[in-house]
């Protein structure tokens, strides 16, 4: 029993020490520091913005309408 408790305390202690370092790494990665947006990613952002306008103008909704719009938008 005491071996299990000691193991649990050790694991918790190690995890607590590693958590801040892992959080910093993940935050830097998700912040996109130093990363350039590819042409495809930029096209996706532009089409997503156009979808919002299309959705309001034509009062369309649903996954099928979104996919159809995005497909056409991304092709050209």
Question: What pLDDT tens digit does each residue of the chain (76 aa) get?
Answer: 777 767 666 776 666 665 555 555 555 555 556 789 999 999 999 999 999 999 999 999 899 999 999 999 999 8
Q: Which two tokens stand for residue 39?
A: 């042409």
This prediction has a pTM of 0.49
Q: How many CA atoms lie within 13 A of 61 on its CB side?
A: 2
pLDDT computed for residue 22 by the predictor:
54
Each domain of the chain, given as residue ranges in start order, spans 41-76
pLDDT computed for residue 20 by the predictor:
58
Report d(CA 48, CA 74) in Å as an integer: 10
Rg (CA), the chain: 23
pLDDT computed for residue 64 by the predictor:
95
């Amino acid at each position: 029993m005491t071996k299990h408790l000691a193991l649990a305390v050790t694991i918790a202690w190690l995890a607590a020490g590693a958590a801040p370092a892992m959080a910093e790494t993940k935050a830097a990665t998700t912040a996109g520091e130093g990363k350039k947006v590819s042409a495809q990613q930029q096209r996706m952002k532009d089409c997503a913005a156009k979808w919002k306008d299309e959705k309001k103008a034509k009062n369309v909704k649903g996954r099928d309408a979104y996919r159809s719009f995005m497909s056409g938008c991304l092709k050209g």
